[in-house]
């Protein structure tokens, strides 16, 4: 299953976080607008901004350009992987040369 969304982002309106990333939300609407678009993007709001009902700062619009017949699957939230988790998974991996891959 896959969905591809083409979104034009107005870079000047992006709000970067302390790590330098611009966190945005993208919504897919059921209906298209007058510009044949059904997706919109806006800066993520803090809980305080949402509670104060601060208007969203929209940074882009777009449209779904591809989707499979199965539709869109919701991804369940998982806690962030830590370096310790990553290192543990590397330790549990098979040693080099002992892979069960056929090539």
* Sequential pLDDT tens for the chain (103 residues): 577 888 899 999 999 888 989 999 999 888 888 988 889 999 999 999 999 999 999 999 999 888 887 766 666 766 665 666 656 665 665 555 555 555 5
Domain assignments of the chain as residue spans, ordered by start: 3-70
pLDDT by residue (tens digit) across 64-92?
888 887 766 666 766 665 666 656 665 66
Q: In what order do the strands lie in the sheet with 58-67?
A: 3-9, 58-67, 39-43, 24-28
> How many Å apart are CA 17 and CA 60, to the nearest integer?
18
Express as a percent the part of the chain with pLDDT over 90. Answer: 31
pLDDT in the model for residue 3: 78
* Contact criterion met (CB below 8 Å) for 26 and 19: no
* Contact criterion met (CB below 8 Å) for 43 and 54: no
CA nearest to 60, candidates 3, 4, 5, 20 = 5
* Contact criterion met (CB below 8 Å) for 60 and 73: no
């Amino acid at each position: 299953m896959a969905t591809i969304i083409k979104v034009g982002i107005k870079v000047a309106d992006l709000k970067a976080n302390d790590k330098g990333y611009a966190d945005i939300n993208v919504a897919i609407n059921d209906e298209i607008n007058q510009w044949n678009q059904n997706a919109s993007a806006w800066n993520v709001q803090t809980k305080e901004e949402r509670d104060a009902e601060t208007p969203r700062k929209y940074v882009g619009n777009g449209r779904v350009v591809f989707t499979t017949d199965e539709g869109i699957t919701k991804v369940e939230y998982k806690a962030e992987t830590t370096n310790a988790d990553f290192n543990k998974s590397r330790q549990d991996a098979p040693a080099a040369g002992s892979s069960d891959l056929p090539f």
